[in-house]
């Protein structure tokens, strides 16, 4: 018997979807891979948080033991969790001009994102 590895949860009203989550499922873990929300549907409430709450409730009912938000440090993830995991990215490149310039450009881009946060 094969286990389902992809799960799509959709939140809709009157047949019109306004929020969806794409989950990766493996054994007792459900990992949120992608969130799509129509922010104009009702700007007064966080549709994403409502959808995550419903998905976590459903996961618990279905015997899921771990709900993983995967990487990223968005604030909504810490609203739902009491701890987090760190990840490290290691970059290697050849000692030639083009790979070094490409690597430095990538590092500058990441540094710019960190500064803007």
Confidence tier at 20 by pLDDT (50, 70, 90)? very high
User: Are residues 44 and 17 both part of a single domain?
Assistant: yes
Confidence tier at 61 by pLDDT (50, 70, 90)? very high
The stretch 24-52 carries a mean pLDDT of: 87
Q: To the nearest whole percent, how much of the chain has pLDDT over 90?
A: 11
* Residue 106 backbone phi and psi in degrees, to 5: -65, -45
User: Are residues 92 and 64 both part of a single domain?
Assistant: no
Confidence tier at 93 by pLDDT (50, 70, 90)? confident
Asked whether the beta carbons of 68 and 88 are under 8 A apart, the reply is no
Q: Is residue 1 part of a domain?
A: no
SS3 98: helix
Number of domains present in the structure of the chain: 2
pLDDT score recorded for residue 92? 76
pLDDT score recorded for residue 54? 92
Give me the domain span that covers residue 71. 6-80
Mean pLDDT of the chain: 83
**Alpha helices of 10-96 — where are they, by DSSP H?**
47-61, 75-80
């Amino acid at each position: 018997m094969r286990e389902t590895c992809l799960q799509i949860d959709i939140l809709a009203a009157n047949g019109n979807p306004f929020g969806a989550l794409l989950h990766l499922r493996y054994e007792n873990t459900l990992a949120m891979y992608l969130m799509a929300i129509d922010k104009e549907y009702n700007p007064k409430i966080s549709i994403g948080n409502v959808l995550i709450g419903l998905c976590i409730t459903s996961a618990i009912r279905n015997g899921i033991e771990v709900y993983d938000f995967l990487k990223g440090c968005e604030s909504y993830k810490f609203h739902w969790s009491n701890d987090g995991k760190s990840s490290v990215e290691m970059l290697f490149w050849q000692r030639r001009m083009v790979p070094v310039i490409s690597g430095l450009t990538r590092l500058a881009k990441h540094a710019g994102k960190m500064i803007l946060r």
